[in-house]
A = this chain, B = another copy of it.
Amino acid sequence: MSKILSRRDLDFLLYEWLDVEALTGRERFADHSRDTFDAFLDVSAQIAERDFAPHNRRSDLEEPTFDGVRVSVIPEVAAALKVFNETGLLSATMDESVGGLQLPHVVARACFVWFQAANLATSSYSLLTAGNASLLLRYGSPAQIDRFVRPMLEGRFTGTMCLSEPQAGSALADVLTRAEPVGDGTYRINGSKMWISGGDHELTETIVHLVLARAAGAPAGVKGLSLFIVPKHHIEDDGTVGERNGVALAGLNHKMGYRGTTNAVLSFDDATGYLVGEEGKGLAYMFHMMNEARIGVGSGAVALGYTGYLHALDYARERTQGRPVADKDPAAPAVPIVRHPDVRRMLLASKAYVEGGLALILYASKLLDEPSDENDLLLDVLTPIVKAWPSQWCRLANDHAIQVHGGYGYTREYPVEQFYRDNRLNSIHEGTDGIQGLDLLGRKVIMRGGAGLQLLIGRIVTTAVAAPAELGQPVIALCDRLAATTRKLWAAGDPTSALANSTAYLEATGHLVIAWLWLSQLNAAAEKEGPFYDGKRLAARYFITHELPRIGPLLDLLDSGDTLLADLDDAVLG
């Protein structure tokens, strides 16, 4: 059995639960079939196992270095990316007109999870490039697409997103990078960008940076931000790579985990930039891509949690230690630790987190495949949860994986400690958990008169009604509570008090969403027999009975109107 990911689970989620095969009835996916989906899933599993997983530890131990001139990355990374590029998955969801495969997002996502689970750091170079290319396909000019996007999709260039700056991370309104029009249609870019994943390396001929900057004369705040293409090298009219542009690597950040992906501080010094779309719309363009980018982060968190769980399960079945508490005979042989209830607790909780998280990201991805007012709205509401929930709970699965391994899990001789370190980033980048809480409670559930929340709750209740009452009823009751709590929080229309406990709101809603997806899987498994389906039933029951009740106190807190945190005088800390 693979310890990277479970193909059996993916097959269940894609075909038995989400009925992904039915997507082939849509014109966009008409050339596809379950056979082509399976072929891409097979090749992903194979390459992930053969070309990505084996150097995961090495890319942690021998992280990229910068000698002042060039960045060195272990050679396995470029080799793996080359194999990946040959699959065509870099443009998995893109139009055939640009060489894309027109795969459904949900299938592409299932493929990507294999690579993320096998080697998150190496896969990042490709997934960042795909995100960059998707944005330019949507908002770039035909000339920009020819010059920058096609080479990215051919694997000749990689791409980045340059948003943050040393003084502006969560608050993009404070971006200081400046763009001055030169007069020939290009801009001169000056400033400093921080936390740029894949920001420098020599894996490809050059790097296409997408840079958020403030054009001369633009207003303060996010409305003054525009988006620019700033290549590391100038690209000649014939498409060849020319001299260096004014982009310099100021330094690499040295992270706790996720070390194989370079993370750069970049200096833009009179660099030539090309405006994407219109001035002042930079953040809007970025936000149109944000749903997808945040699914990508949630997906990485799920992937790490999932592989950690499979490693822990395997270890727990092999490792013998101790006896059941009722067995007092010291001469009895030691049993596999999977027989101890507390080890089972960690394993079953992890299963509930990682399979629940995988269901969440696939469900969200499928919404991209069936665009409609309703599905777009639902995705908007779900996105902060898609991003934050796996970052928190699938990371807990990585924590459990260490604990199941005991002392061994704390050593670098086993992979689970790396998964734990790697996954810690996912609660930070692409909007911290705290930012997701503000997004959910401060925007998503109140926009359009609360239509998004109403839609979500409607879908949850429909599923819960079809589930066995003992598990469905508690979920329905919590839906009613969540709706009432939301109304109460916003009754006074005061954001300061409404948002005082936004993280509690995010956690409560997240757990309710996962409970819903477990009920939905339970319904899909109904009347099917065998250990796999029994496992789904057990995990659903576990999540509803052991995990979901934790949101009661969170909703109590929100209902109490507590503003202790908002009112706090921070002089009393310390």
Please measure, in the bound complex, the distance between the C-alpha atom of A437 and the C-alpha atom of B412, giving whole angstroms: 27
Interface flag for A143 (CB, 8 Å): no
Nearest opposing residue in chain B for A257, CB measure: B410
Cβ–Cβ < 8 Å partners of A326 in chain B = 494-496
Kindly report how many copies of this chain are found in the complex they form together: 2
Contacts of A466 in B (CB 8 A): none
A550 partner, pick from B167, B171, B437, B553, beta carbons under 8 A:
B553
Complex interface bits, A332-348 against B, C-beta within 8 A gives 1, otherwise 0: 00100011111111011
**Alpha-carbon separation in the docked complex, A397 to B320 (Å):** 33
List the B residue with the shortest CB-CB distance to A331. Answer: B220
Pairwise interchain contact A568-B321, C-beta atoms closer than 8 A: no
Residues in chain B near residue A574, CB distance under 8 A: 1, 6, 310, 313, 535
Determine the distance from Cα of A425 to Cα of B410 in the docked complex, in whole angstroms. Answer: 7
Are the C-beta atoms of A222 and B330 separated by less than 8 Å? yes
A316: B residues at CB distance < 8 A: 570
Contact among B167, B501, B557 for A549, CB-based, below 8 A: B557
Q: Chain B residues near A342: list those with CB within 8 A.
A: 434, 437-438, 502-503, 565
Is B403's CB under 8 angstroms from A428's CB? yes
Within 8 A of B (CB), among A410-442: 410-413, 417, 420-421, 424-425, 427-429, 432-434, 437-438, 442
Report how far A164 CA is from B568 CA in the complex, Å.
Answer: 48
Q: Which of A189-225 contact B (CB under 8 A)?
A: 194-195, 219-223
Whether B413 lies near A253 (C-beta < 8 A) is yes
Q: Tell me whether B321 and A174 are in contact (CB under 8 A).
A: yes
Q: Which residues from B are CB-within-8-Å of A556?
A: 549
- A223 surroundings in chain B (CB, below 8 A): 330
Chain B proximity mask over A551-574: 1 for CB below 8 Å, otherwise 0: 011001100101011101111111
Distance in Å: Cβ of A574 to nearest Cβ of chain B: 5
Of A362-370, A379-387, A540-548, the one touching chain B: A540-548
Q: Are B407 and A428 in contact (CB under 8 A)?
A: yes
With A434-B343, A531-B572 as known contacts, state yes or no: A499 contacts B334, CB within 8 Å. Answer: no
Are the C-beta atoms of A564 and B538 separated by less than 8 Å?
yes
Docked Cα-Cα span, A232 to B256, in Å, equals 36
- In chain A, positions 165-192 with a C-beta closer than 8 Å to chain B are 167-171, 173-174
Minimum Cβ distance to chain B for residue A427 (Å): 6
Q: Which residues of the other chain, B, contact A294 by a CB distance below 8 angstroms?
A: none
The residues of B that contact A538 with a CB separation of less than 8 Å are 564, 568, 572
Does A244 sit at the interface, judged by CB under 8 A? no
* 24 A–B pairs (Cβ distance < 8 Å), ordered by A: A168-B321, A171-B321, A221-B331, A223-B330, A253-B411, A254-B411, A254-B412, A255-B412, A256-B417, A325-B442, A325-B499, A342-B434, A342-B565, A345-B501, A345-B565, A347-B570, A351-B573, A403-B427, A403-B433, A409-B428, A531-B571, A541-B564, A545-B557, A546-B564
Interface residues, chain A, CB within 8 Å of chain B? 1, 6, 164, 167-171, 173-174, 194-195, 219-223, 253-257, 310, 313, 316-317, 320-326, 330-331, 334, 338-345, 347-348, 351, 402-403, 406-407, 409-413, 417, 420-421, 424-425, 427-429, 432-434, 437-438, 442, 494-496, 499-503, 531-532, 534-535, 538, 541-542, 545-546, 549-550, 552-553, 556-557, 560, 562, 564-566, 568-574
Can you name 20 extra interface pairs (CB under 8 A) apart from A170-B322, A345-B501?
A: A167-B334, A169-B407, A171-B321, A222-B330, A253-B411, A255-B410, A255-B411, A256-B410, A338-B570, A338-B573, A341-B565, A341-B568, A342-B565, A403-B428, A531-B572, A535-B572, A535-B574, A545-B560, A545-B564, A550-B553
